[in-house]
Structure formats: structure tokens, C-alpha cells
A and B are shown apart, each in its own frame.
Chain A
Amino acid sequence: MTAALEVQNLKKSFPGFTLGPLSLELPAGYIMGFIGPNGAGKSTTIKCLLNLFHADDGEIRVYGLDSRRDELEIRQVVGYVAESHPYYQDMTVAWTAGFYARLYRHWDDGLCRRLLEKFNVPRDRKVKELSRGTRTKLSLALALAHRPRLLILDEPMAGLDPIARHDVLQEMLAFIQDEERAIFFSTHLMEDVEKVADYVAVLNEGRLLLCQEKDDLLADWKRLAFPASRLEELKPWLKTCQQEGGRCLGVTGSYRHLLQQLPEAARYLETSPLKLEDLLLAAVRQGKTGRS
């Protein structure tokens, strides 16, 4: 099966910042959430995927198409929602839709109208008169209307209220009802990744810390509490640990392996699930202490 998105050893350097080498693969039919702190390189990665930045090294393939050789064809296949929405501010929504229609071979005008209506984007309004949330919805409608196979969304939820966010999540899941399609989205909103992402990629300081099925990630990353007397035997599995009196609180990134190797630990370990947000914190912090 061809992957929807395949990145191999992607590298891009700027003065003071290096992205990569970064490799990841998103199979068709699934959603990948791309998370990491500000400045981690998420937008740079996305701009490389779209060939808006030219990578220094590495390969990017979209349904087998090469990002450099087949750049124009990839634009037809990819629906892109940028972080900021680069439209002509003085033009109306309808004009903007007409402008985009001419760029795409598979433009579906009926679908565009239906989506704008569904998202409550007024066609006769000028772009500059739209709220940030409405501009995002316009952007999503335009990205969907040319019937792409891969959606790439850079912070699609920024500026959206909870109801609009739910609508966008629903639209994303509707999009992958067709198993040939896939979505790659970056976000700071961990709940959205927790809900709809099949895979999670964690980027920090230009490097990929984790890239796994979300359910495996959540099964392996747990918050642990245990008597301090057990600290020594648990140490190999701990990412972070704090001791207070006779009790320790820690985070593990390999809970299933721990239980396999040390089954008796189940008797004294207090385990609680880790939210993705805490997982990100622990992974990023460990990355820092690991180097120093």
C-alpha cells in the first residue's frame, strides 16, 4: 500500500535552527497529529512538505509523488489550510472561491457552496470583514472543495470556539470516511489530537521525539506513584521522578515493558493515565535533561 505521506531524512537549516533529519510515514486512511512547543519546527516542516520551503536534503513523497519533481501535481492532491490565511482582503468570499476554482482540476463548486453554507461563511462579505474563526472555515472549505486526497492543516483550530472546533473535527473524520484519504495536522490543542488522531508525532527543537500510534503512546506513558524504597528497581523505566518523603511520583514512557519485566510491580504501583499535554511536557523535559 502506498503511504499518503512519506518523509525520509528531511533536513532544513536556517541560521540558528536546524530541522531534522526527520522521517515519518502516514498511511492512507488515517489522521496524524503533529505536536510540539512553539519554535519546534512544525510550520517549517509543513512548508517543506508543500515545497514552500526547499528542503536542504531528504525526500518527501505524497501518494508516491516526489515533492520536487511532481510539485504541480502534488498541489492538486493536497488540500492546505495555512496558519494565516493569505487572501485578498478587499475581495468577497465568492470572488475568492472563484479565484481558487481556476487553480484546481477537480474543483467541485457545489461542494464549495455547501461547505460555505454549512460553516456559516457569508459569500457576499469581504475577507477583511470576517472573524478569524470564519476565515479559518473559509480556508477549510476552499481546501476541501478541490477534492484533495491529503489534507495538511497548520493549526486549524487557532481562534475557533468549542462548537466550531467540534465541527472541524467532524469534518476531518468525514473526510477520511474514504480510506484513500489522510490528514496531517499541527496543533497546540492536545484534546483534539487525543480525540481524532490515529498517529501522534512529537517535534522538539527540530527533532522528532516520538512518532507512534496514539493508543500505543497512551498505553505506554503513565503517571506512577510508588514507595521510595522501589525507586532503584523502577529507575530504568522512569522518564521523570520526584521524591517526597517515602513516596515517589514519576512518569514512565514504557509501562507495558515495565509490567512484562517486573510483573510484581503491579502490586505496589499506582498508575494513572497521562494526558497528551503532560506526555509532551515529560518528553520535552527529558530531551533537555538527557543532553545536559
Chain B
Amino acid sequence: MLLKVSGENPEPMYQQIINEIRRLILTGELSPGDPLPSIRELAQQLTTSVITTRRAYLELEREGLLTTRQGVGTFVARVDRETARAAARKIAAGLLTRALEEARRLGLTDGEISAIFDGILQGGNG
């Protein structure tokens, strides 16, 4: 399992790990039933800490994307359509929230931001 994470990225490491594994699952690069490395193995592979890696796994379990069988290991869960859509919505919400925060800081009103968003949706540049 190859994950793109970096200490230079301002996002917390556990968030980067979550995003990467989510992406691999939602794009089908990881299939239901595929085994994941153990928490300690992945920590070593990414040169990151054990607790950070565990946090990422726990969050992905909560979202229903991973399942851990005690003493056996962690696997990609059988993800139904709704769980997959919910996970995709979560990624999109994260990206849009950052853009929204930035726009508000520039002093734009929510009405203006909404108009820009509608404009982009309709294929313009806002």
C-alpha cells in the first residue's frame, strides 16, 4: 500500500493518512477484504508515530471503511453505496470548508461566496 504523505504538508499527519486510504478505497485501488499493514508496520513504512497511525485507522473504522478483526488484522470493509457516498461527501466537505474559510477571511459575505460557487458550478469562473 503506497500512501502519499509528507511532513511538509500543513495538514496533520493522521489526516493525511486518512485521506490517502479513503482515496484508495473510493477509487477501487483497494478492494473489500484487502488486508492493510498493521499499525506498527505502517508507522515504520511512513516514518511516523504509532499513535498517529492508530488514530487514522480508528477514524476509518468509525466511517465504516475499515474493519479490524481482533488478533487477525485490519481489512478494507465491504462498503455499501451509501457509506462510499458519505465518505466522498466528507472529503468534498473538507476541501470546500477550507475554501470557504479563506473566502470569509478575505471579507466576502456568504451571499457573495454562494454566488461564486453557483457560478463555478455552472461552468463560469465566478
Contacts and interface: CB of A to CB of B under 8 A. Distances in A.
Interface of A: 29-31, 166, 169-170, 173-174, 176-177, 179, 191, 194-198, 213-215, 218-219, 266-268, 270, 272-273
Interface string B35-74: 0000011011001111110010000000000000000000
Contacts of B47: 166, 169-170, 173, 195-196
A273 B10 contact: yes
Nearest to B110: A267
Contact of A174 (B14, B44, B49): B44
Given A170-B47, A174-B44, A197-B49, 5 more contacts: A170-B44, A177-B40, A195-B49, A215-B55, A219-B12
A173 B51 CA distance: 12
Contacts of A197: 49
B32 to A, nearest CB: 27
17 contacts: A30-B51, A31-B49, A191-B7, A194-B7, A195-B49, A197-B49, A198-B50, A198-B52, A213-B51, A214-B51, A215-B12, A218-B12, A266-B101, A267-B104, A268-B105, A270-B105, A272-B10
A6 B104 CA distance: 48
A176 B40 contact: yes
Contacts of A170: 44, 47
Tell me what chain B mostly uses at the interface: helix, strand, loop, or mixed: helix
Contacts of B7: 191, 194-195
Instruction: Give the interface size bracket for B toward A.
Output: 10 to 19
Interface of B: 7, 10, 12, 14, 40-41, 43-44, 47-52, 55, 101, 104-105
B12 to A, nearest CB: 6
Contacts of B52: 198, 214-215
Contacts of A191: 7
Contacts of A194: 7
Contacts of B43: 173
Contacts of A218: 12
Contacts of A272: 10
Contact of A273 (B12, B40, B55, B104): B12
B11 to A, nearest CB: 8
Contacts of B12: 215, 218-219, 273
Contacts of B14: 215
A272 B98 CA distance: 12
Contacts of B50: 29-31, 176, 198
Most A-side CB within 10 Å, residue of B14, B47, B55 = B47
A267 B40 CA distance: 38
A292 to B, nearest CB: 33
A71 B12 CA distance: 41
B48 A196 contact: yes
B73 to A, nearest CB: 15
